[in-house]
């Protein structure tokens, strides 16, 4: 019998992730606030739910890929009452980038309703989601993680388990996004220096990202920043600001100063204030160009 799964959130990441579940043979019931975004999946055999809660059934599995903490809280505890609808023993796989505090709170709420929550945030952009190349961090009860692992593997290339603490995977996800944003800022500053020194930043970054910075983040974003091409946006600036705010909240709760994160927050706020909200989050690199008196190269 084909396993039935609910899926909530069909944005730039959620849509290709859900499509990969369909391709893997799962029976999907999907919901998105903008109903038209579900059409490509409906054409491939998915069923559309009229409300988010309607994707759930007792003892079932629901995957959510939503924009922020408030959206996940509303799904779990609000009118859609996901935590209750999948009880008893249903599993909610939360793949959104949210705070570990929110995950811990919602995991506890699920438990009081007789259901389980597994945190499974992902690393990757829409193109990696489409190619099933996401890297997924998971945390939560061992039995539930084992049950949903084949589902997660149908959407990504690697799964990394960070234990039973529900919020652990979210801490790792936020740490990773902070490190990416810091790399964007570093490349932006380096590019500004090179441009003002008469050096071709594209040629320089090509060499650097093939040698001492031969890592996906530098290789993927280096040409974007060197050439100043920040559209189409794979991850918009306001989402980057949201994640850095979560980093600072988490760091504050842990009494762990993160001065670089504070700088990055200011960069995001400045970029949005300058009308760049629709650009990719790598456009925070333009802040260094602004400070150096350079005009945008795009």
Enumerate the active-site residues: 173
User: What pairing do the DSSP bridges indicate for beta strands 122-123 and 116-119?
Assistant: unpaired
Both structure tokens of 294 = 């350079």
Cα separation of the two ends of the chain: 53
State how far Cα 180 lies from the chain centre.
12
237 φ/ψ sector (left φ>0, alpha ψ -120 to 50, else beta): alpha
What contacts 24+ positions apart, CB below 8 Å, involve 156-161? 156/122, 156/124, 156/132, 157/132, 157/133, 159/135, 160/135, 160/136
Sign of torsion, CA 253 254 258 264?
Answer: negative
């Amino acid at each position: 019998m084909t396993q039935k799964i609910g899926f909530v959130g069909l944005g730039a990441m959620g849509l290709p992730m859900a499509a990969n579940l369909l391709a893997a043979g799962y029976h999907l019931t999907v919901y998105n606030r903008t109903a038209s975004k579900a059409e490509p999946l409906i054409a491939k055999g998915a069923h559309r739910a009229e409300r988010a809660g309607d994707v759930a059934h007792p003892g079932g599995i629901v995957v959510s890929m939503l924009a922020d903490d408030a959206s996940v809280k509303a799904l779990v505890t609000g009118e859609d009452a996901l935590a209750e609808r999948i009880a008893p023993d249903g599993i909610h796989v939360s793949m959104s980038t949210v705070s570990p505090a929110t995950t811990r709170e919602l995991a506890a709420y699920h438990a009081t309703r007789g259901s389980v929550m597994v945190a499974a945030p992902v690393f990757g952009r829409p193109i990696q989601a489409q190619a099933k190349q996401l890297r997924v961090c998971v945390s939560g009860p061992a039995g539930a993680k084992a049950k949903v692992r084949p589902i997660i593997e149908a959407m990504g290339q690697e799964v990394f388990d960070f234990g039973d603490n529900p919020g652990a995977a979210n801490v790792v996800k936020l740490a990773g996004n902070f490190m990416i944003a810091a790399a964007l800022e570093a490349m932006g500053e380096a590019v500004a220096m090179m441009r003002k020194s008469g050096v071709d930043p594209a040629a320089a970054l090509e060499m650097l990202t093939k040698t001492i910075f031969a890592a996906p983040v530098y290789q993927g974003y280096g040409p974007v920043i060197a050439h100043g091409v920040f559209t189409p946006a794979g991850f918009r600036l306001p989402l980057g600001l949201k994640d850095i705010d979560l980093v600072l909240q988490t760091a504050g709760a842990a009494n762990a100063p993160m001065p670089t994160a504070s700088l990055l927050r200011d960069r995001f706020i400045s970029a949005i204030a300058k009308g760049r909200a629709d650009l990719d989050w790598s456009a925070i690199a333009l802040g260094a160009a602004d400070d150096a008196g350079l005009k945008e190269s795009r």
